[in-house]
């Protein structure tokens, strides 16, 4: 199996309804191919982790990369894994909060602004992967 992480920029005008349509379709399609993972969104940036058999993950990613609903699709990481981190989620989804960014690196002590933003994660594969994996479910977690 492999894990693939990419980032992309949402097309202008992306809203909750459009996100929900993307997720519904993604969940159905991923379940069919036994692809699992996590999709994060904030400030117009998507970060997504896909995991499963290499052939399935590559196929799903090739379709995603051609989707006109986002641009600047950049593969950040692809590596072999022996087990899944999101086994019970055909695709989890979260809007990233300030607190979650702060947990990656302490905020600036003077301005209190988060020291990490989504733009930085697009060029920092290890940090982007760390954020995605912070949403992994503990063993035995039942998906909603
Ligand atoms: C940010 C984003 C994430 C997506 N994630 C998935 C996904 O995990 N699985 C999936 O099958 N499609 C996903 N899609 C939708 C695909 O891009 C595509 O619409 C779908 O696979 C159908 O492709 P096709 O019309 O080429 O068959 C995503 C789209 C976007 C914009």
CA nearest ligand 1 atom 6, residue: 26
Looking from the CA of residue 29, the nearest atom of ligand 1 is 11
Question: 112 alpha carbon to ligand 1 midpoint, in Å?
Answer: 36
Tens digits of pLDDT across the chain (144 residues): 999 999 999 999 899 999 999 999 999 999 999 999 999 999 999 999 999 999 999 999 999 999 999 999 999 999 999 999 999 899 999 999 989 999 998 888 888 887 899 999 999 999 999 999 999 976 555 554
Domain count, the chain: 1
Question: 14 alpha carbon to ligand 1 midpoint, in Å?
Answer: 15
- Alpha-carbon distances, residue 83 vs 36, 66, 87, 120 (angstroms): 11, 28, 8, 28
Q: Domain residues for 96?
A: 2-133
Task: Please state, in angstroms and rounded to a whole number, the distance separating the CA atoms of residues 77 and 80.
Answer: 10
- 141 inside domain: no
Q: Which of 18, 41, 16 is nearest to 92 (CA)?
A: 41
- CATH number of the domain bearing residue 14: 3.30.70.100
Segment holding 59, helix H or strand E:
helix 54-65
Beta-strand pair 2-10/70-80 = antiparallel
- 111 inside domain: yes
Task: Please state, in angstroms and rounded to a whole number, the distance separating the CA atoms of residues 125 and 6.
Answer: 9
Cα 25 versus chain centre, distance: 16
Write down the pTM of the prediction. 0.93
CA nearest ligand 1 atom 17, residue: 64
- 50 inside domain: yes
Count of alpha carbons within 13 angstroms of residue 106, beta-carbon side: 3
Our answer on whether the CB atom of 60 is closer than 6 Å to any ligand 1 atom is: yes
CA nearest ligand 1 atom 15, residue: 64
Q: What pLDDT is recorded for position 144?
A: 46
- 142 inside domain: no
- 139 inside domain: no
Task: Please state, in angstroms and rounded to a whole number, the distance separating the CA atoms of residues 89 and 92.
Answer: 6
Looking from the CA of residue 41, the nearest atom of ligand 1 is 1
- 144 inside domain: no
Our answer on whether the CB atom of 29 is closer than 6 Å to any ligand 1 atom is: yes
């Amino acid at each position: 199996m492999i894990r693939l992480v990419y980032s992309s920029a949402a097309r202008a005008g992306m809203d909750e309804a459009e996100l929900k349509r993307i997720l519904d379709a993604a969940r159905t399609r991923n379940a069919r191919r036994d692809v699992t993972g996590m999709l994060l969104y904030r400030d117009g940036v998507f970060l997504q982790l896909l995991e499963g058999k290499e052939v399935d993950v590559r196929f799903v990613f090739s379709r995603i990369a051609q989707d006109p609903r986002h641009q600047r699709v950049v593969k950040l990481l692809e590596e072999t894994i022996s087990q899944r981190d999101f086994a019970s989620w055909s695709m989890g989804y979260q809007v990233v909060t300030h607190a979650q960014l702060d947990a990656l690196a302490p905020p600036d002590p003077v301005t209190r602004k988060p020291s990490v933003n989504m733009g930085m994660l697009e060029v920092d594969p290890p940090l982007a992967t760390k954020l995605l994996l912070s949403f992994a479910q503990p063993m035995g977690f039942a998906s909603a």
